[in-house]
Structure 1
Amino acid sequence: MEKEFVVYQSKSKQIGLSFLGMLMVLASFFILIVGIVETMYLSMVIGIMGFLFFGACELYIVKQVFVGKKLVVLNDVGFYDYSSALSTKEQLILWEEIDKIENKSIVNQSFVSVYLKEPEQVLSGLSSLQRKTIAANVKMGFGEINITLQSAKSCTDDQLISKMNSFIEDKVRKE
């Protein structure tokens, strides 16, 4: 079996998102200009805040187009999740710590939901915001780790689940 499997972010999906971000930057700039011309302070404040926020987001999205961001990395020992802002990032989740993996969805968004055998022990190194978000996800019936592949290149939820289960089975065979 292969030693590592990596799911990358799709550049075309990021470019589409970048286009939408640019529209928001332009709309914010237009609101700012209207506020200046009409001397409407609320419009100026909204325009400046929108321009700064969406401008920063746009810069981040454009950077991601050129970097080739990894969303999920599977290896013989476990996996790393980089798929969202609240992911476990550089924390390796070992295969033997996983109870089950399944496909879950909410409001037209699907996730690969990973349930852990001892979540408190595994996730103790995460920030309090991450732990609170995980607790909320668990209360809604999701696993402790939820991987979103909405911006993934050439990998579906079912394919990732199958690949993860293959790594787990391979780990069990070696023991």
Structure 2
Amino acid sequence: MNTSYEQHVEYPSRKRMALITAGAALFVSAGFFLMFDRSSGAGTSIISSVLGLLSVLFFGTCFFYSLVKMIRKEPSFVINEQGFVDSSSYTSGGAVAWREIEHMFMYELMGQKMIGVKLQDEKAFMERHNGMKRKLMAANSNMVDATISIAQSSITLPIDELYLMMMNHWQHGKGGRIYVLNGRK
């Protein structure tokens, strides 16, 4: 089987990124309101301030991340003959070679379809990332038996089609079979 595979590039949906950015901005505003609202008693004021601060820190980070993703015209996901490059979220895996993959599967988490990628040497892969990102990836890996998770919300191509494309590239490298979706390759 000498089929040559073209590179496929996915860009983040600007509409989705705009909605995420707007939502994060609302939560940042709510956090500031909680931090500086002095209409309640002293005990609840401290709790409100702490919750407000946590909201501002977390959603502020989400706001800046989504704003940068929306402004930059960088791909969120690239597939080629060597592997894939995932930069679809903060906990994305970066570059992964097809030979590093042990198993790929589809799953659903909180109503969202996702692609799970289990790597052969998860420890070596995790060591390529910084502390906070590594901890978030490990938490994700503990929830689902996947080193890398790719969400539909981070790409424009339907997740089923992306999964088949990834499976075909992965299987092609191993000399395996070609998968089809609804009679299409």
Query: Structure 2-normalised TM-score?
Result: 0.70
C-alpha contact 2:35 2:53 (8 A) present in aligned 1: no
Structure 1: gaps spanning 5 or more residues: none
Give the direction of change, closer, same or farther, for the CA distance of 1:140–1:42 in structure 2 (3 Å limit): closer
Quote the residue 2:46 is aligned against: 42
Work out whether 1:105 is the aligned partner of 2:108: yes
Give the deviation of 1:161 after TM superposition: 1.1
Give the deviation of 1:11 after TM superposition: 0.6
Give the direction of change, closer, same or farther, for the CA distance of 1:14–1:136 in structure 2 (3 Å limit): closer
Give the direction of change, closer, same or farther, for the CA distance of 1:21–1:95 in structure 2 (3 Å limit): same
Larger deviation, residues 68-77 vs 23-32: 23-32
Separation (CA, whole Å) in 1 of partners of 2:141 and 2:66: 30
The 3-state SS of whatever aligns with 1:22 is helix
Q: How does 1:7-156 map to 2 (within 5 A)?
A: 7-32=10-35, 34-35=37-38, 42=46, 45-46=49-50, 49=53, 52-53=56-57, 54-89=59-94, 92-127=95-130, 130=133, 133-153=136-156, 155-156=157-158
The one-character-per-residue Cα deviations of 1:87-139 (angstroms, maximum 9, x if unpaired) are: 222xx311122222110122223321112234344444334555555555555
Quote the residue 1:165 is aligned against: 167
C-alpha contact 2:77 2:155 (8 A) present in aligned 1: no
The code of the aligned residue for 2:70 comes to V
The 3-state SS of whatever aligns with 1:150 is helix
Give the deviation of 1:64 after TM superposition: 2.0
Quote the residue 1:3 is aligned against: 6
C-alpha contact 1:4 1:74 (8 A) present in aligned 2: yes
- Identity, % of aligned positions: 22
The 3-state SS of whatever aligns with 1:83 is coil
Separation (CA, whole Å) in 1 of partners of 2:159 and 2:168: 14
The code of the aligned residue for 1:162 comes to L
Structure 2: gaps spanning 5 or more residues: 176-185
Separation (CA, whole Å) in 2 of partners of 1:152 and 1:163: 14
Separation (CA, whole Å) in 2 of partners of 1:135 and 1:39: 40
C-alpha contact 2:122 2:147 (8 A) present in aligned 1: yes
TM-align CA RMSD: 3.2
C-alpha contact 2:8 2:80 (8 A) present in aligned 1: yes
Separation (CA, whole Å) in 1 of partners of 2:122 and 2:52: 42
Separation (CA, whole Å) in 2 of partners of 1:131 and 1:55: 21
